[in-house]
Amino acid sequence: MLHSNLLRLVARGSSSRLMSTATKLTTVEVNDETGIATLTMNRPPVNSQNVQLLLDLQASISEIENNKSRGLILTSAHSNVFSAGLDIFEMYNTDVERLRTVWTELQNVWIALYGTSLPTAAAINGHAPAGGCLLATACEYRVMRPNFLIGLNEAQLGIIAPKWLMSGFTNVLPKRVAERALTQGRMFTTQEAFEAGLVDEIASSKEEAVEKCAAFIGSFAKVNPLARGLTKLQFRADNIKEFEKIREKDVADFAALASSPEVQKVMGTYLENLKNKGKK
């Protein structure tokens, strides 16, 4: 009988294994030939990041680190959204403790993904605003399907994203381009993101995006994994150290900001607009 602690479960034919997790909102599938794990977010309709999805992502990243996979590809089970970012419903009309938990778990996912020594790539098969862009830019490589949007839109919402949340973004874009995009809260189309260097390749389907991500991870086949991983972490060490210094204060700052009447009002209006959009 299947149960949550079952470790390896043959899923689709013999070429890939669905690794069981104790989770429901993510799945991990390891390709038997390449040894690369695909981590799929599956929280319909838009993979908005509630606490459960954030916890499941952490559990899946740990699982992939522990099962000796050669790399991690992050993608979405949905046809037009990679991830809509934080679940705004979960942050609206709630208590400060819940807001602290949301932010702590977002931090935990980011540091798990940004700070893993494994090769990582995002197959961005749909829109990736805000927290969706955060996850994609925590990875080392990005392949995106055409005609979607990606970016950190916080400034558009009247919110200041902390430095760690921007750091994946500022790693991949020239400083001037990053500053302008962040101050504008700009959402890039796939083509614009490719031209700016925010995504590395464009793929016409999710399958092609996953293949291109696998080819990127495969490019390290002849590199010593320890040397590769430590080199990666040296590049990221400054951002990680800065983050570790402020992480507690950052949780307190976020909880104070997000619980303030002004920001709660912005969230309420934003949610109304999202709901009404569905009725049009």
Ligand X SMILES: CC/C=C\C/C=C\CCC/C=C/CC(=O)SCCNC(=O)CCNC(=O)[C@H](O)C(C)(C)COP(=O)(O)OP(=O)(O)OC[C@H]1O[C@@H](n2cnc3c(N)ncnc32)[C@H](O)[C@@H]1OP(=O)(O)O
Contacting positions for ligand X (CB under 6 A): 45-46, 48, 80-81, 84-89, 91, 127, 129-131, 153-154, 157, 159, 161, 258, 263, 266-267, 270, 274-275, 277-278
Residues in the chain: 280
- Please classify residue 215 by burial: count the beta carbons closer than 10 Å to its beta carbon, then call 0-12 exposed, 13-18 middle and 19+ buried: middle
CA angle 94, 96, 102 (to 5 degrees): 80
Q: Which of 126, 131, 151, 168 is catalytic?
A: 131
Smallest separation (angstroms) from ligand X to the CB of 169: 12
Q: Among all residues, whose Cβ is closest to ligand X?
A: 85
Helix, strand, coil percentages, rounded to 5, for the chain? 50, 20, 30
Q: Which of 50, 125, 153, 239 is catalytic?
A: 153
The residue type of 227 is: A
Smallest separation (angstroms) from ligand X to the CB of 84: 4
Three-state secondary-structure class, residue 81: strand
| 154 counts as catalytic | yes
| 47 counts as catalytic | no
Smallest separation (angstroms) from ligand X to the CB of 242: 17
| β-pair type (71-76, 120-124) | parallel
Q: Which of 25, 54, 57, 86 is catalytic?
A: 86
d(CA 125, CA 8): 27
Smallest separation (angstroms) from ligand X to the CB of 19: 27
| 153 counts as catalytic | yes
Tell me whether residue 71 or residue 151 sits nearer to ligand X (CB atom): 151
Neighbours of 239 (CB within 10 A): 19
Smallest separation (angstroms) from ligand X to the CB of 135: 10
Tell me whether residue 44 or residue 174 sits nearer to ligand X (CB atom): 44
| Number of alpha helices (DSSP H) and beta strands (DSSP E) in the chain | 10, 11
Q: Which of 55, 99, 154, 182 is catalytic?
A: 154
- Please classify residue 159 by burial: count the beta carbons closer than 10 Å to its beta carbon, then call 0-12 exposed, 13-18 middle and 19+ buried: middle
> Any idea which residues carry the catalytic annotation?
86, 131, 153-154
